[in-house]
Amino acid sequence: MISQRARYAFKAMVALARAKPGVGLQIRELSEQEKLPRKFLEQILLLLKAAGYITSRRGRDGGYELLKPADLIYIGPMLRAVDGPIAPLSCLSRTAYRRCADCKDEVTCELRLAFAKAYGEYLAALETTSLAQVMQQSDKAKPLESLTI
């Protein structure tokens, strides 16, 4: 499960991607538009800026905007920038690998084997899915009220 910080970061990135190119969104606008707590959003935007996803301009016409197009921003690295490692087990992490303290043998570890394949598929999807692709899927999706189950 992703953290609330990652959820808010994702919402902020989508809002910035949808904003008019060259015109940044001020933090007040972003907070109100996406219904995100301003103080928490400030922290999140600093993380995204440090990771090279967004830039900011000061002044009356200032605000935040994406540094690169949404089709070049991939979900996996963006989540890692905000939340750190996304692996369910430390022994499966590509960025923060650590052998489990209670593991006798990683090759035969049932817990690792149970999660390895599913995590590999999950990770592949996150690493190859761009922010633009998610936005396109969202634009094509039907509102929940019109879906029949």
Per DSSP (E only), the strands in the chain are 54-57, 63-66
Alpha-carbon distance of 8 to 3, in angstroms, equals 9
Domain ranges in the chain are 4-66, 85-142
Q: What is the pTM of this model?
A: 0.82
Alpha-carbon distance of 37 to 8, in angstroms, equals 9
| Other Cβ atoms closer than 10 A to 79 | 19
Tell me the per-residue pLDDT of 91-131, one tens digit each, with 9 for 90 and over.
888 788 888 888 888 888 888 999 999 999 999 999 999 99
Question: In this predicted model, which residue has the larger pLDDT, 104 or 14?
Answer: 14
- On the CB side of 120, how many CA atoms lie within 13 Å of its CA? 6
Which residue from 117, 53, 112, 41 is spatially nearest to 79, judged by alpha carbons? 53
Which residue from 89, 76, 93 is spatially nearest to 6, judged by alpha carbons? 76
149 pLDDT higher than 50 = no
Let me know if domain 4-66 sits in CATH 1.20.1240.10: no
| Other Cβ atoms closer than 10 A to 19 | 18
